[in-house]
Amino acid sequence: MIEEILRQGEIEVQGRLVDASNATLLISLSHNGATLDAIYKPVAGERPLWDFPDGNLAQRERAAYLISEAMNINCVPLTILRDGPFGVGMVQQWIDIDESVQLEDYFHSDDPQLRMVALFDAVINNTDRKIGHLIPDLQQKLYVCDHGVTFHVDDKLRTVLWQWAGQSFTEDEIRTLDSLLTLLRSNQIAELPSLITAEEITALMLRVESLLTTGTFPEPNPEWPHIPWPPF
């Protein structure tokens, strides 16, 4: 039902999130009497980046959602690509945050959901995991957003979630990585080649293989700033 509304719903722009570096719009969608709030990031509003020159941040957001689902982490809100009032872009389900959670304290806790996000970020090579990208909802489920700068072929992991660096994976985490690698090798995430390049898919598989070989969460890259700025 939610995906049907996201894909087919009539879009009405409610406003712009002014803190975002790229055009990020709050929208409402209506379809068959149902309504839903969402985030809309049109490709036309993307700011060019020196290390992501192809301008497909919206596609990377969709790719991150697919990997989250493939890993059975389900930490990325439902994310699709569709046309909108400012052209094709990413449309993502809006999640109401639990305002009682103090993110400044929460982000460096040992919550298992955060640990799974740290594993997810290592897989997708997230170069911008900030505190403000954490969205604990009212049912204590953790979601995360803003995955436009991911899947680079170079090691660019930059995150505030380093509390597990060097720690060994659990058996469940190893099974998760093994299962993902099987899906990638057999091309079972069929949409992925339309979202990121063949070189980036190869790099993705190599990252998963490397994680399985080391058996530990990655350490910061000494040749790359490992914490985003500003961290929030």
Q: What is the pLDDT of residues 126-178, one digit of tens each?
A: 999 999 999 999 999 999 999 999 999 999 999 999 999 999 999 999 999 99
Alpha-carbon distance 211 to 217, whole Å? 7
CATH number 1.20.1050 given to 2-214: no
Check residue 182 and give its pLDDT. 98
Element (H, E) at 103: helix 103-106
Which range (8-22, 83-97, 173-187) has the least confidence? Answer: 8-22
How far, in whole angstroms, is CA 62 from its chain's centroid?
8
| Tens digit of each residue's pLDDT (9 = 90 or more) over 195-222 | 999 999 999 999 999 999 999 999 998 8
In 32-113 the beta strands, taken as DSSP E runs, fall at: 34-42, 79-82, 89-93
Residue 23: band (very low, low, confident or very high) from pLDDT cuts 50, 70, 90: confident
Cβ neighbours, 10 Å, residue 90 = 27
Domain limits, the chain: 2-214
**Cβ-Cβ contacts under 8 Å for 5 (sequence gap 6 or more):** 29, 30, 31, 34, 35, 36
For residues 150 and 128, give the distance between their C-alpha atoms in angstroms, rounded to a whole number: 8
pLDDT at 154: 95
Q: Which residues pair with 89 in a beta bridge?
A: 42, 82
Instruction: Please report, rounded to a whole number, the percentage of residues in the chain having pLDDT higher than 90.
Output: 89
- What contacts 24+ positions apart, CB below 8 Å, involve 191-197? 191/62, 191/66, 192/63, 192/66, 194/59, 195/56, 195/59, 195/60, 195/62, 195/63, 195/66, 196/56, 196/59, 196/60, 196/63, 196/151, 197/54
Q: Is the pLDDT of residue 223 over 90?
A: no
Q: Give the model's pLDDT for residue 52.
A: 86
Residue-wise pLDDT for 25-81, tens only, equals 999 999 999 999 999 999 998 987 888 877 799 999 999 999 999 999 999 999 999
37 forms bridges with which residues in the sheet?
28
